[in-house]
Structure 1
Amino acid sequence: MRNSFSPPRIVWLAALLLAAGCSETGPPPAGYVADSLGPHDGLLVPLPKDKGFGEILSRPLPKATAKADATMVVYFLGPDKATPLSPPPSDASLRLKLPGQDAPADVPLKLQADAKDPSGAALFASTPGLYAMDQLFGDLTVTVDGESATIPFEKHR
């Protein structure tokens, strides 16, 4: 009687299982968003229950200092990704992994509507800080229609 698990088959099976479990090119962890860009070239993060999107970006200051080089902004957009979310969220904040820091930074955001921008009615912005960076990693916490949600995100470009 022939053994169905002869050494060559065991090696092949082990290699197949190892490759399947160790893929580094697989999809990002659940909840993280790929590099989808919005109308302001910021990272688009879908809001729960298909209510719309948050577009997260670092906006450089006209004159950077040693204490502040940018503000963090989030445009809250409707499902069409163009019009402002209406009504805007009642609360929003970011938790960011900043270069050179071990612990994530809490970044409160306040509604600062921009009448010059067609999608700026639901614009939230931080106070200036050291936020000039190309890669963004963190969490967006937002309250929409009385429901709070925390959405992890990452932007690699």
Structure 2
Amino acid sequence: MGKMQVTLTVNSKREELLVEPRELLIHVLRERLGITGPHIGCETSHCGACTVDMNGKSVKSCTVFAAQADGAELITIEGLGAPGGLHVLQRMFKEHHGLQCGFCTPGMITRAWRLLQENPDPTEEEVRFGIAGNLCRCTGYQNIVKAVLAAAAELNAAREAAQ
């Protein structure tokens, strides 16, 4: 089977490219589009370093063929926040020391972003459950959970103030 034409919208930018049917989304993002926030970790969907948001759901891009993503809206860590500024989750990870080596951080923040879209006011237990598919070898998760809860509180306060 030959190459296939796919159209992706990545971080609000439309991309059209030819892909091999077996080409993984993570490789297209990193190698073809230069979007290097999602990391290649285990390549088996266990670690979550490659997590991106696809059509309103968190997916592990190491287990999605680019052809399966044809027509999809994708958001990566690069698509969060305003240009030149940090998203509140990114800022809270920094302020609450929710990262150490940083390898898991893009996937973790992208997953946390979707979690807060689905549940704007999660409990600690809901955060822990919500990020369970993303592994971190450095932090022990305590500060990651604190960062997500702090981001939720700030986002909720901003929403209330806007009403």
Q: TM-score range by the shorter chain?
A: under 0.3
Q: TM-score if structure 2 supplies the norm length?
A: 0.26
Larger radius of gyration: 1
Q: TM-score if structure 1 supplies the norm length?
A: 0.27
